Every structure is written in C-alpha cells, then in structure tokens.
Structure 1
Amino acid sequence: MLDGASKSRINAKDEKGQTALYIAVERDLTKAAIELLNAGVQTTVADNTNDHPLHIACYSGNLQLAKELLANNADIEAKGEYGETPLGLACRRGHADVVELLLNHDASTQVFNCSQRTPLFAAALHGHVGAVKHILEKDLSSLDKVESTNTWTALHVAIYKGHEEIVSMLLKAGSRLDMRAKDGSTPLMTAIQNQHEGIVKMLLVRRSENEDLQLETPSDNKATPLGTACVRGFAAGARLLIDAGADCTARILDRPVPIFALACGYRHREIALDMITRSKARIDGNCQANNGRNALNMATARGHTKIVELLLDHREAIGLSQDTISRALFQAIDAGCESVVKLMLGPKGRVSVNYKTYWDRTPLHNACNPLGCITSDSNIWGPDDLNEEERSNPEFQPRRHEAILSLLLERGADVDAISEHQGTVLHSATASGNVATIDLILKRMRHVDALLKNHNGQTVLFIAFEPGRENAMRALLSSARLETADFGSDQRQRDALSWAAVSPVRHDIAKLIMVKMHKSMEKPRPVESDVWSAIEWATFMKLPQVLWVLIASSPRSKETTEMLERAMILAARSQSQSDLPTQQDARPDHETASVDEKVGNGRANDARDTNAGEDDDQQALMDMLQDPPTGLLYTGTADEPKLKEGLKEILAICSKALSVKARHF
C-alpha cells in the first residue's frame, strides 16, 4: 500500500522523464501498476521521448495493463517518439488482441507516424495477419493511404515483403491496383520486381469483368511488367503475364527497345521461347530498337549462343529475314564468340562467308579489326544453358577473334575484297595493329591489292603510321608483298622516316623505309646492302639530314662505331665515283659547247645545279662521318634509350627539319 508521502510524489519523474507507472508498465509489474492506478496516478504523463505508459503496454503486448490504462483515461491517440499511436505500435508488433482492444475503444486508423505510415501499413509491412484482419473489419478508410518514403500503399508493402495471405486480404477488401509508387510502380510491377509468383497470380485474377490489371502500365523508367520480368529473368512471372495477355510486341524504355529483344539480350531463353510460342500477337524478329539493334543483334553481340540458336530454329515463326541474320554475323565476329559464328555460317544461319553490307564490307573486314567483346558470362545475364562439354569447349568462350579469322579463311573468305569505306582487308588488319593478322592477310593477298588506297586515299602504311601501330608498320615494310614505301604522299613518307630516325628503337623501321624507297627508284641494289644498318642506308641514299639524326640518336658503342666506319667506306666510294670524269667531262671544250647548243643552255645549267647539290650532300655526309654527333640526343643502350635532359626541343627541331622536302627524298 502507498503511504501518504508516496502518494504526494506518485507522478514524480526520474532523469529520463519516466514516472513510477511508466517503469512498472515497462517492466511488466502488473500488480504495482494497478496499485498506482488505484492510487490515482496520472496515465498521460510522457517521458523524455514523448512515450506514454499506454504506448509501452501496447508495444509489449500487455493486454491487461492496456485495459487498465484505458479504463483510467489513458490517451488512446497520444503520439510517441516517432509519431506513432498505441494502435500503430500494437500493429507493428503484431499484438492482435491489443489491436482489437484499441479498435473497440475507437482508436483511429487514420493516424500517421513520422513516415506517414498508418497502423494498417505497419501491420502489412511486418506480416501480422491478425492485426490486418481486425483493422479491415473495423475500417477500410486507410486501405489506399500512402506513406512518404516510397509512396507505397499497404498492398505495395505487403507485396514487396511477399506476405501472400495479407495481399489476399487486401485485395478482397478492395485495394486499388492502379496506385503507383514514387518510381511509378503499380502493385503488379512490385510483385514482378520482387519475383513473387504466387502474388502475381493473385493480381492477375480480375475482381470484376472490366477491371484493369495494369498489364501495360510502365514504371518511371518506361518498363512494363513484362519488360521488367525479361530484364530480371523472372520466367514464371513472364509466363503468367504472357498468358494474361501482356503485349509481347511492345517497345519499352527510353530507347525504346522491343520487349522480345530484351529477353534475348539478357539471355533469358525460357522467356524468349514463351514469347514465341505463347504470345497472342506474332513476334517480329526484325523489330529494332532506336539504335538499330534487334533481338538477334543483341544476342550475337553478347555471345549468347543458345539464344542465337533458338532464334535461328524459329526464324520462320518470328519472320527473321536472311538479311537480318547475315548482318548479325558482324556483331558475332566483334564479340569473338566462335560458336555463334559457326552457327551463322552453318545450315541454321545460312550466311555467306563473303556477304557484303551496303558499303561492301565483308565478315573478313570485321574479323581483321573487331570492335571488341562483351564478356558473355557477365552476372547481369541469365543462364547460358550450356552443357558441361560445351562449357569446356573453347569455341563457346569469348575473345576467340584469332580462331574466327582462321575459320573465315578456311571457309573461303575473299582476302581481295574491297570495301567502299574501309578499303582492302589489309587496311582493316593494319588498323587493328595486330601483327599476326597482318601477316596472315599479307600471305594470301595479291601484290597489287596490297598497294591499293581506300576512299580517303590512304595506303596501308598511311594507316600504320598512327600511335600504337609501330609493329604493324614493321610487319608491312618487312613483307615482300609491299614493294614500295607508299605512305599516300611524299610528306607523309618524310614524316614517317623522321619519326623512325629520332629513336634508336625504331632505326630498323627507318632502314626498311629507305630500302623500299630505293626499290621504287628502280636502281640496282648493292649485294652487301642486305646487312646494312640504317646509318649505312642513309649514307648510300645521300640523306644527310636523316643520317645526322640517326647518328645523334645512336648510343656510343662499339656497334655504332663499326656502322660509322662502314658508312665512311660507302661515302668515300661514292665520292671517288663522282670525281671520275664522265663522258661529257672528257670532251674538248668545242664539243661540249656544241652539245650545249643542241640540248639548250637551260638543261645544262640545271644539270650543273643538280651536280652541285649532290656534291654539297656528299660533302655533308663526309663531314658528318668524320666528326659524328654520336649519342648527342640519347644516353643508355639501343634497347633502353634515354632522352638527354633539355634535348626535347632539339629533337622537335630535328623532326621538323626532316619533314622538309630534300633532294632524292
């Protein structure tokens, strides 16, 4: 029993703002709480978080204390810490008997917590069937109220959580199917997104003859329920939607993309097959997205072998044209999936190995310079449907570009094919920078085709003279099939020789260029020239500017010294030959004069100017070889050259000087 002193302090609070009644209820001290109530304690005193004793009783499910508190004028609509009423707390915790008690005392179902969640929403969220049942029996006014986070209704959240019994109850109570969440999702879309097959079945049963099931209502990303099922691989849900009449021919998303193409692109074979065989409308396999891609394009580009096979098996049913199939071969080649390429070239695909696009581009053009590969085992794709033998077979793996190139050549691909835009197959191979590909094509090409230009007037060497294609240039210049160093223009040739000469690691390229240049002059080539270095070739060709840069970029080594000595011998031999009197030099003056009169004074003067220029070049060569600028630009070795500090500007000047047209160049 409470004495007089205790009664005077019966409503006192501790540091948390809790009264004796609050503590008794919190600790389930029922007898103590009843004694306090009988002593006249206040039931509406809140603690520091704004919770009342009734909140605590309802949260813990203490039915007896809840009754006692209500009998003593507790505030049934008081809002606690998060704006929840006692009814909201009881619903959240699933205490159905307490919920029933509160409803019998006319607790409001229209109250909202801080997230605008009603008691019904709280019960549906946490799967408390009994609490939902009592609210629906008492009041349906909160059935379609939305909370503030996702703007979900109770039906949305029950579907999201997969609470089938509650979904059934809400549907029978009349929950609307057209309510849309913040992302535009209807209840049906939410069921598809979360792959709840049983709930999808419920939502597809019409409650009235003309009820709109929202089959085609898109979310904010413009995806329909069927489109979402295709992307997520929800095969069971997709089949239910198809059987319910969902449009399998629709184009969705921002692009937009045919739904059927999505199923194929995301490698969901079962869904694609259901669309073909169960759709009420005929699937058009040629239907394209805004980017020009159709179902077959998407499957081949991603290396989805079994999807491609499915489409080819049903080519008649979906109206797949031979042109569509043939063009898709190019995506298969880019993807590097050999198994898909074989399908396309085989009896199912029936694609010609020399099929040409509008610009005469052939599969071999693509194989020589593929665009790249999308990894076919990406986590976003569906199952590959391969058996164990297929999965271990390299043909079914990505990045099989070399094998595909060999396959096309084995099947008779025309290496002499010319594309209107890309030129020869060798142009494509050169653009790839792949030496193995270049060698493979060069061995099979005619000499004349190796020298052709594309529609921009570019030769293969012009294309090779780009960053990252150094080895491609080596391969081309080393081939006997390429008879000249044709870079498309004299200026481009000078630029290439300049680029090669300024770095010791590219001196071999400089030599190859000069060898081809000499060959184009149709002059006899000295037998010993096969073993000449770039320095010796520049001396022989009388190119003092090139020679200076070659020497300046060579390391100070025994090998360089030997090259210079051999070059000096070449220069001396050339000078001695030029000093010998020519047939014209040996004639008497009066004979020479008569010759001049016959050919004209102009030609004689030109000849003297040319000879003078050659003499100048010859003297420059001799001077340079006698006092060589070895190592002026680089230190280190020929394999690991290091540009000397402060010489970048000099190197730039040298490059510019080399690009200026010189005699015999």
Structure 2
Amino acid sequence: MMLYLQKISVQRQLRVAINDNDVSMAHKLFLGGVDPDIRFSVNCNEKPALCLSVENNAFDLVRLLIERGVSINQRDSDGFTALHISCSQVYPHLAELLLQARANVNAKTNMGQTPLHMAAMRGSWDLVELLLSHGADINALDCDGNAPLHYASQSTNPGILKSLLSAGGSPALVNKAGNTPLHNAVETTAMTSDVIHLLALSYPDALGVQNCRMRTPLHIAVQRYNVLDTECILEVLLKYATREDLNLKGILGHTPLHLAVLENRLSLLRLFLTAGASPDTEDYLGHTPLESAARDASLDAVTLLLAAGANTRHLIKGGEVDSEVQDLEVRYHIRCATREPPPLSRFCRKVLIQYLGPASFRIISETSLPPKWQQFLSFRRNDL
C-alpha cells in the first residue's frame, strides 16, 4: 500500500513538472527511477509523458525525455504520437526535434491521419515543408479517404497547396464522400480564388466529378453563402469547365443553372448563360429553369432566360400561358416570347457564345468592344 501511494505521489510530481516545464524536477525524478515512458490518465485518454510535454510546448522537457531514451513513437489512446501533437498544435520547433530523434513521419492515428494530414489541416507551410523533407507520404489516405491535399484545400494558404502539388500530391484523389480537393475548396467559407485557380489548373477534370450527393464543384459554388465570393470563384471555375460540366445534373436533375434560378442568384445566372449553359435542360420532374423562374414569379430570371432563347413550350397550354404562372408581367413576357421571333442580335449572341465555349465571359470582357456590346454579350443588357 505504501509503495502504491509513493508511486502515485511520484506520478503527480512528474505531472506538475511537465505542466511547469520544470526540467530540474523532472531530471531528479528520472534519476530516482521514474520511467520516461510513464503514462497519465487525462479525460479518459491514456497519454504518455512525451505527448503531454509536447502539448504543453515544453521544449526542454521533451529534449530531456529524448535524452533519457523515451520511446519516441508511443501513442495516446487516440493513436496520436508526439509528432502528431506537435503538428496539430503547430509547434514546428518540437516537430523538428522529434524528427531528429527518428520519430515516424508516417505514423497513423486511429483515424488514419499522419502528421502531414495534421500540418495541412492547420495550414502550416513550415510544418508541411519540414515533414516533406523527412519523407512524409504525400498521398496517404485517412479513414475517410482524405489525402493531405484534401485538408490543405480547405486552407486559404496557396503556399501549402503549391508545396503539396510540387511534391506529387494528387488533385485527382476522391475521398469516401466522392470529393476531390477542388470540391472541398469550393465548399470552404472565405476561400480565395487563388486556391481555386491552383486546384482547377492542376486537375481541370475535377469540374466534371460528381460526389456522393451528385454535386460537382459548379453545383457547390452556386449554393455558397457569400454571393460576391461566389462570383469570383465561379469565374475561375468556368475558365476550366467544359460544356458537359455546365450541364451535368445533380441528385434532383438540377444543373448548376437550375440551382442559380432556384436560389435566385441573378449574377450567377448571367455567368452561366454567358458561358453557354443550356437554358432548356429538364430536371427529373421535367421542369426547365424557365418553368421554375416563371412559377416563382422571378421576373428578372425569366427575362434573362428568354433573352438566352429559352423555349416556352412547357409553359403554353392550349395556346395560353399555364395558369400556374400567376404573375402578370411574367405571363406577358412569356406570351410575347412565344408569339414574336427573337431579334437577330440575340441569335448572333447565342451563336458566338456557343463558338467561344465556357470561357466566353472572360474573352468578352477582354475584348475592345464598345461597353454596350460587352454588356449585351454578358447578359447585362437585353438588347442593343
């Protein structure tokens, strides 16, 4: 009993020494026979002294433990090694010390995450570079199928992406949710267009990859919260999109253009129309974007879709506008579009956009055309 109490007392003393980074006290305890690999129970997690010392950013104590021959790759109950913790807490000085002591750079947690996953998740360029220089597996997958690049794509630091891509990180890897790194980046709040550009440039085919929810990066972009950010991001994505990408259907048969109408995002609708997205694609209920806009009384969206040549046949019943369309102005515009041929200028715009392809909005903005022509071609003006 007395020996047990003495053991508990010694453990507590070492725990205090770790918390206070008291190297002198810890050294005395080790000289007195305390095992450097001793473990402590912390919130139902068994943590080695080394892991606790790293958590507390106790550099001198970590160095002392290494000198005393601590097992450098021991894990806590979650499978975290000291190196994992140094990366998770963004302590590059400790990570370097541990790597010099031959810490396993590719050790995995219970969730399959390596230290490089942690560094990418925290957005630390210094740690990413350090781990790569020690042979970190660039495309290691965790239990959710995420590579370090998936986590880095959620950081707003393009430097990390450049490092991972240069080291052979694959932007084509798809996780268990069906997402490429580009999907993750587009879905991340406050994401910068620089990061989107890097990922789209490195793997343009990601624009046509549908995840487990049948969403492509274009679908995800339309449903972002910040409209101004979304415009910038969508402009970047459209530089690399194909016509097929523009018209891919989501889980309910909605194309990105459908979603722009349903979300009433007119600026995004203009971008899709300028890029040549089809205004007549039907969802799985047989509804076109024009039908949705008309029944929702979205006059501006109806005007834009009609200007793009959207077919009105689904809205005409027995020669009259469908009774489900109740807004008088919307009914008037549909009736006029049905009875009158479109102006020649609109037909010319449609042909030009089809010829230029999805990047037409960028090409149009870079031309030396008069402003009114640029506005007309980008659907910011209905007629010349």
Per the normalisation by structure 1, the TM-score is 0.45
Is residue 184–residue 219 contact of structure 1 (8 Å, CA) maintained in 2?
A: yes
How far 1:287 moved relative to its partner?
2.9
C-alpha distance after superposition, 1:85-127 (max 9, x if no partner): 1111111111100000111111002212222221111222223
- Equivalence map 1:175-194=2 (5 Å): 175-194=169-188
Query: Aligned pair 1:33/2:26, yes or no?
Result: yes
Partner of 1:205: 201
Matched, 1:323 2:323: no
Displacement, 1:179? 1.6
Shift of the alpha carbon at 1:128?
2.9
> Structure 2: which 5+ residue stretches go unaligned?
341-384
Structure 1 SS opposite 2:46:
coil
CA distance in 2, matches of 1:39, 1:25: 16
Aligned-residue sequence identity (percent) comes to 19
| 1:120 corresponds to which of 85, 97, 116 | 116
Kept in 1, the 8 Å contact 2:185–2:196? The answer is: yes
User: CA 1:220–1:53 in structure 2 vs 1: closer, same or farther (change >3 Å)?
Assistant: same
Equivalent residues in 2 for 1:329-408, closer than 5 Å:
330=321, 333-334=323-324, 336-345=326-335, 347=336, 349=337
* Cα distance in structure 1, aligned partners of 2:5 and 2:74: 18
The amino acid of 1:193's aligned partner reads E
Q: Secondary structure at the match of 2:178?
A: coil
Distance 1:140 1:326 in 2: 63
Alpha-carbon distance between aligned partners in 2 of 1:14 and 1:56, rounded to the nearest angstrom: 17
Aligned to 1:245: 241
Asked if residue 269 in structure 1 is aligned to residue 266 in structure 2, the reply is yes
Q: How far apart in 2 are the matches of 1:129 and 1:12?
A: 46
Structure 2 residue 16 is matched with structure 1 residue 23: yes
Q: Deviations over 1:372-410 (max 9, x none)?
A: xxxxxxxxxxxxxxxxxxxxxxxxxxxxxxxxxxxxxxx
* Gapped regions of structure 1 (runs ≥ 5): 1-7, 353-665
Which of 290, 293, 308 lines up with 2:284 in the alignment? 290
State how far apart, in whole Å, the 2-side matches of 1:85 and 1:258 are: 45
The superposition leaves residues 318-375 of structure 1 with CA deviations (integer Å, 9 ceiling, x where unpaired) of xx345356469846x5253344234334x5x3559xxxxxxxxxxxxxxxxxxxxxxx
* Counterparts of residues 63-102 of structure 1 (less than 5 Å): 63-102=59-98
After superposition, the Cα gap between the structure-2 partners of 1:212 and 1:336, relative to the gap in structure 1 and judged at 3 Å, is: closer
Change (3 A) 1:140 1:55: closer
Which of 1 and 2 has higher RCO (CA within 8 Å, sep 6+)?
A: 2
Which residue is equivalent to 1:62? Answer: 58
Shift of 1:165: 3.4
> Judging changes above 3 Å, is the alpha-carbon distance between structure 1 residues 264 and 14 closer, same or farther for their aligned structure 2 residues?
same
**TM value normalised by structure 2:** 0.76
2:36 paired residue among 23, 32, 43: 43
Instruction: Give the secondary structure class of the aligned counterpart of 1:160.
Output: coil
Q: Match for 2:139 among 128, 136, 144?
A: 144
For the pair 1:230 / 2:238, whether they are aligned, the reply is no
SS of 1:81's equivalent in the other structure is coil
Amino acid at match of 1:147: D
CA distance in 2, matches of 1:112, 1:284: 47
Amino acid at match of 2:154: Y
Shift of 1:212: 5.3
- Cα offset, 1:298, TM superposition: 1.7
Contact 2:279 2:308 in 1 (8 A): no
Matched to 2:85, the amino acid is L
For 2:209, the equivalent position in structure 1 comes to: 217
**Alignment CA distance shift 1:284-1:80 (3 Å):** closer
The answer to whether the Cα contact below 8 Å between 2:123 and 2:157 also exists between their aligned partners in 1 is yes
1:52 corresponds in structure 2 to 48
Deviations 1:266-308 (A, max 9, x none): 322222212222x3xx443333223221121121122222111
Change (3 A) 1:168 1:13: farther
Indicate the structure (1 or 2) with the bigger Cα radius of gyration.
1
* Partners of 2:17 and 2:320 in 1: CA distance: 78
User: Structure 1 residues 45, 284: CA separation in 2 closer, same or farther (over 3 Å shift)?
Assistant: closer
- 1:156-175 superposed Cα distances (whole Å, 9 cap, x missing partner): 12323444433332222221
Structure 2 residue matching 1:51: 3-state secondary structure? strand
Q: Distance in 1 between matches of 2:149 and 2:94?
A: 23
Asked if structure 1 preserves the Cα contact closer than 8 Å seen for 2:273 and 2:279, the reply is no
How far, CA to CA, are the matches of 1:10 and 1:87 in structure 2?
Answer: 32
